[in-house]
Structure formats: structure tokens, C-alpha cells
A = this chain, B = another copy of it.
Amino acid sequence: MIINNNLKMYVKKLRSSNLRPTKQRLEICHFLFDRKKTFHFTVETLNKKINMNGSTKVSLATIYNTVEAFTKAGYLKEILTSKNKSFYDTNIKSHHHFYDEGSKELTDIHYSQIKLSKVPMPPKGKKIKNLEVVIRIQK
């Protein structure tokens, strides 16, 4: 379960996302952030993981709400794909993806692996929030 050290971090993330630290939300944090590698997921896969391996039952609605709040707060990043399903990533650093249309798998590309030498100005009155490259690959 959640070790004390991470607990503080989770509470901080939750509070700064305007969420109270509840049993369910801490369980979600555990499955999202208590990892060595970064984690790509959909709400469906996260829900399965939590409810098969977790120590607390968490409803789908709570998972949706928490993931959305974390995404707004910047602790998760929504990935661009052409599927009608949302993919999220715990790696919020600027980085890019390979998207394999056969297997529908996403793989991180480290930001240092792609360099842009020219980027356009945003339209008037707007600023750039984020820039992502998706490289579609096939056999």
C-alpha cells in the first residue's frame, strides 16, 4: 500500500488540484504515481488495475473525475491520437510519441530525440501551451 513518504506527495497533488484527499483518491494516486516508469493508460485500463489489484474499491465515476482534475492541474497529460478514447500519460515533461496503428500502442519519445528548428507564431491573442509530435509507424 501507500508508504508514508509518498502519502504527503499525493495529498499535495490532490489539494493543489482542489480535491480533498480521500481513501479512493489516494488509491488512484498510488496506481498512477507509485511507479518507476511512466505510465500510459485509459480510464478503462486504470479502472481494471485498481479494482483487480487495489485495496479499496473505487467507482468509475470517481476515476473519471480524478483523472480529469489531475489533467487540468497538469499532473497528467492527455495524449493526442486518432482513437475515440482518451489516453493519458503520467510523463508530463515535454515529450513525443510513436503511435503504432497496428497494435494501437503508444511509446514515449524523449524530448531530446526530436528537435524543431522552426515553429510558427501562434494566432493573435493566443499563446502556445504545448507542442506535441506524434509519429505514426507501421510494419
Contacts and interface: CB of A to CB of B under 8 A. Distances in A.
Interface of A: 78-82, 84-86, 98, 100-101, 107, 109, 113-120, 122-123, 125-139
21 contacts: A78-B82, A79-B82, A82-B86, A98-B122, A98-B123, A114-B116, A115-B117, A115-B118, A120-B135, A122-B135, A122-B137, A126-B139, A127-B138, A127-B139, A128-B136, A129-B137, A130-B135, A130-B136, A131-B135, A132-B134, A133-B133
Given A127-B137, A133-B131, A116 B113 contact: no
Nearest to A112: B118
Contacts of A138: 126-127, 129
A125 B139 contact: yes
A71 to B, nearest CB: 9
A122 B135 CA distance: 9
B116 A115 contact: yes
Nearest to A88: B82
